[in-house]
Structure 1
Amino acid sequence: MKGKYGIVDIGSNTIRLVIYQQDKSGRLKEIENVKAVARLRNFLLENGELSEDGINVLIDTLKSFQEVTRFHQLRNVKCVATATIRQAINQKEIIQIVQKETDFQIRILSEYEEAYYGFLAVVNSTSIHDGFTIDIGGGSTEITYFQNRNLKHFHSFPFGVLSLKKQFVKGNTPTETELKALKQFLQKQFAKLPWLKGKKLPIIAIGGSARNLVQMDQARKQYPLKNLHQYQMDLKDIVNVKNYLTSLSFDKLKQVEGLSKDRADIIIPAIEVFLQLYETVEATAFILSRKGLRDGIFYEELLKDIGSPIFTNVVEESFQQLAIDYEVDLKHAFQVTNIVYMLFRQLKDQQIGEWTDVDVQLLRTGALFYNLGQYIDPESSSQHTFYLLANRTIDGMFHKEQVELALIASFKNSSLFKQYVEPFQQWFSKEEQRKLRFLGALIKFAYHLNATKRDIVENIHVKVDEKGTIHVNIYCNQNWQPEQYQVEKQKKHLIKVLKREVKLHFLPINTKMMQLI
């Protein structure tokens, strides 16, 4: 697949056109996102027909989208419809009218397909192996249960935020009595699925209602990042947002930061669905996925040639895209990674520092993307490195993990480290910050051991003498003077973290390994 691709998603609440551009890494990057709040569900009559007014709203919306797709010269735009069109008894007539009046041909997704594509989006954009997905639309709610990244169960409930509001809420916001009735209804519905009860797994939520819930929580907490994908909340967080919203008048509700005005009258019923599912599952976390049904459809098509619609390793796939996007010199990066791993093994053997498997993986990744920001500006590379790695969506990584990576890959000195970590003080203990400074200093040291990119370092040996001084033997296959000059300046960062003297000894590779006294 090359070039631009478009998809029209005809939902029960909103109709959306998204246009993607395939970038140099092969990833589809969103370049246009046009939304219309059509609320087609409200045009579904008692007899199951989508009314003439509803069809007119659909056609008018699609014609407005058509102008955009024609401008971009898109051909064969995918056009999918979910619950409202699926439930309409006159769906064949709707399909014919759309085909006659517009450039689009509707594909009506089955309940399974709608659930499956949401699941596919989640497992291809997170590293979660076991959990539940939920996608609340206007007219249906899809829930899946997956184990080891394989779909085990799915169910499509014939209710969504619009139908729940119509059934239980008379005004713009629910009363206590209406919320109680809604709660009881949802508990009975979820109780029908024995595979939900007490699984104690995370819930990964898809769609606009979940996104608005997360945005409101971030605004209330003054969250230091703008990332939404893989943002985590717990039961208390959801309850706090709900209690805050139910305390407001409708006029005040529409002004809440993070809440779209067009969702103000349906957000509280949506949050009640999340709450009741959370309690039924006894969930460990509520996590947002920015990737949803539309992404799932493209994942299926993009990955069909490899025999499986699921990435083998989501994080590695993201890192590959990152390396391509920012033109990482992989030969140099791999040498830095090798050097830092040699240092790690020697320090571990000498019992210098306490190391975990997570530290080792972080070292490797930090070495791979150290100084990434030079792609933008070599003079302010550290600042750009931190911003890019902390704020770019990296599928498969939680926000704290991204900030850890950003802190070590951007390490320049203790002063800048303190500046970068300041908004995240509550995330990291002093001991964690010290460890991150150590990892950053180690990577910077390794980076400058390949300063001329000649790959001259062949081996490293570390020994501690009786005074506690750390001696580092660095065995090289070529003249090491440029590297020696650089690392002698960098070792001060290691000394500050370790609080021990460090002495460097550069030696030719054919020198017999010496035991330092």
Structure 2
Amino acid sequence: MAKSYYAIIDVGSNTMRLVIYLREKGGRLREVENVKAVARLRNHLMDDGLLSTEGIQILLTTLKSFKQVAESYPLEEIVCVATATIRQAQNQAEIIHQVSEHTGFDMRILSDQEEAYYGYLAVVNSTPVTEGITVDIGGGSTEVTYFKERELIESHSFPFGALTLKQDFFKKDLPTEEEMSDLRHYLIEQFQSLPWLKKKNVPLIGIGGGARNLVQIDQNLKEYPLAGLHQYKMKDSDLAFIKNYLFTLNMKKLQKVEGLSKDRADIILPATEVFHSLYDTVHASGFILSRKGLRDGIFFEQLTSEMGTALFPNVLEESIQELISDYELNVKHIQHVQHLAHDLFHQLHDRGIGALRKKDWQEVKRASYVFNLGEYIDNESSSQHTFYLLANRTIDGLMHMERLRMALMASFKNKTVFKQFLDPYKEWFLKDERKKIRLLGSMLKFCYSLDSTRRQTVEKLELSNDGDDLRVTLYCNGAYMPEEYQTEKQKKHLEKSLKKTIELSFVENKK
């Protein structure tokens, strides 16, 4: 089947990017190429509002190089958009003409409302957050939005970005204490001018390179063991610590900070202050990074154009369908394991066994979709592959802790292997939480073994108490010897978690 490639060129005030996407068989877009150029067009916007000849030349040269890269792919479509600097340039008509003449690109200049909207759209279609404030700081503007129940309520574009704040407040590359204080007072005043930003007590979601660098620095300082930046969460104290840490460094040391792009070293402090000041204004409940931003928002709009709404109905369900498609999982088998797990879970819950809560079922259900997914790579070491793939793959709609919990459940093999996988993250969980995750994983493994031949032979199960022990009666629609063998072999893991002996009784249904 022919592969479908799409490209987008984002002409920002600080950086320009070309991103190539491959449309997967499930319909989602996967990034396959990302080319960045630090053009800093904002520095070429003159006092009279014109983009200088030198600035136009930098723009054209960069776009020509992007075009050469793009031509190596059989593209279905290429989109070229520009933001604050080109939007604010008095000679934008001339710039558009030059771009068209020299590159053939039809450059679309986004309004500030469109820029804010696409950032919001990317966030609600790629994270589990249903109410929050987004902030996207570019080189020449900062867009903020407020959404509730995933619907856009408010948006605003401030006419300042990391580059302009540096130019306006810092005499040199690095600020003095007084300059940082002046910047903070200015930003808080600006943010408080919008009543809908104040004391919202919702997550603050950062978009763009400044937010990404901030998270990378935090992860490196903490030696964070999980892979992935998207949906990573920081606290107010984390933001304050990084801001103070960066402020103590000279430029040479700043450029060597792990996680900080060298080309952002001179603008990371104004960007960090924007996030910290806005966090305080919002009284945010956390700072979350969205790796999906403007470019993704534009494509999300195109992907959903036939749906009548630009919102995916359920972000996590979309991601799970993507996993099922990528790893060629057996949907009928998944559904049957899920059905058996549902019966087992609720019968244990109704008897007060295992300290199960109703909301635990959602985690079991989620993990049941991808249980033993690593079998796709290698059957013998499927547990290791399952854990690694799920713990280290970005899953839209799942925060990092939720993703880790799912990986631990879906990869459950035995107590020893579970403890090995858990060890780097042991301090993240209370003892009771560790026991609960192990129990839920052992339940899934038990139910998985009940459909070991993928024939849906075991139709249902019934639980009964036999003193302190449990009897599980399994009603079958045919020969059940393989399932009986596997389940007898695997039940010990569930027995250990429940601290109960389990007696199995297989019964052939009489029809």
State the TM-score, normalizing by the size of structure 1.
Answer: 0.97
Q: Which segment is superposed worse, 408-417 or 69-78?
A: 69-78
State the SS of the aligned residue for 2:404: helix
Amino acid at match of 1:491: K
Provide the secondary structure at the position in 2 that maps to 1:474.
strand
Distance 1:58 1:24 in 2: 35
In structure 1, how many angstroms separate the alpha carbons of the residues matched to 2:94 and 2:350? 74
1:141-156 alignment to 2 at 5 Å? 141-156=142-157
Who is 1:196 aligned against? 197
Mean alpha-carbon deviation: is it higher for 353-362 or for 394-403? Answer: 353-362
CA offset digits 1:22-51 (Å, max 9, x no partner): 111111111110000000000000010000
Instruction: Write the distance in 1 (CA, Å) between the matches of 2:75 and 2:477.
Output: 56
Correspondence for 1:128: 129
CA deviations 1:43-100 (Å, max 9, x no partner) are 0000100000100100110111111111224364100000000000000000000101
2:336: which partner in 1?
335
Letter in 2 for 1:446: C
Give unmatched runs, 5+ long, in structure 1. Answer: 512-517
Separation in 2 of the partners of 1:457 and 1:345?
17
Question: 1:476 is aligned with what amino acid?
Answer: C
Deviations 1:460-494 (A, max 9, x none): 1111122x011111111112111111111101101
- Residues 1:213 and 2:214 aligned together: yes
- Give the equivalent residue in structure 1 for 2:294: 293
1:11-160 mapped onto 2 (5 Å cutoff)? 11-74=12-75, 76-160=77-161
Q: Distance in 2 between matches of 1:237 and 1:379?
A: 41
Q: Is the 8 A contact 1:350 1:463 kept in 2?
A: no
- Deviation string 1:352-402 (CA, Å, 9 cap, x unpaired) is 112223310111122221110011111211111001111111101001101
Alignment of structure 1 residues 54-453 onto 2, 5 Å: 54-74=55-75, 76-453=77-454
Contact 1:214–1:228 at 8 Å: present in 2 too? yes
Shift of residue 153, structure 1, vs aligned partner: 0.6
How far apart, in 2, do the equivalents of 1:74 and 1:97 lie?
23
Tell me how many residue pairs correspond in the alignment: 510
Is 1:506 equivalent to 2:506 in the alignment? yes
Aligned residues of 1:350 and 1:462 also touching (Cα < 8 A): no
Q: 2:320 and 2:6 mapped to 1: Cα distance?
A: 24
What secondary structure sits across from 2:244 in the alignment? helix
RMSD: 1.2
The one-letter code of the counterpart of 2:303 is: L
CA distance in 1, matches of 2:22, 2:174: 40
Paired AA for residue 486 in structure 1: Q
AA partner of residue 27 (structure 2): G
| Structure 1, 161-170 or 450-459: larger mean CA deviation | 450-459
Contact 2:23 2:29 survives alignment (8 Å): yes
CA distance in 1, matches of 2:193, 2:131: 21
CA contact under 8 A between 1:66 and 1:103: conserved in structure 2? no
Once residues 266 and 311 of structure 2 are traced to their aligned partners in structure 1, the CA distance between those partners, rounded to angstroms, is 37
8 Å contact from structure 1 (residues 126, 397) kept in 2? yes
Give the letter for the 2:62 counterpart. Answer: T
Q: Structure 2 CA distance, aligned partners of 1:393 and 1:52?
A: 42
- Give 1:236 shift: 0.2
1:73, 1:457 → 2: CA distance? Answer: 49
Q: Distance in 2 between matches of 1:205 and 1:425?
A: 28
**Contact 2:5 2:77 (8 Å CA) reproduced:** no
State how far apart, in whole Å, the 2-side matches of 1:326 and 1:461 are: 32
Q: Give the AA of the match of 2:124.
A: V
Q: Which AA in structure 2 matches 1:26?
A: G
Structure 1 window deviating more from structure 2 (231-240 vs 492-501): it is: 492-501
Structure 2: distance between partners of 1:100 and 1:327: 46
Gaps of 5+ in 2: none
My pick for the range that moved more, 99-108 or 294-303, is 99-108
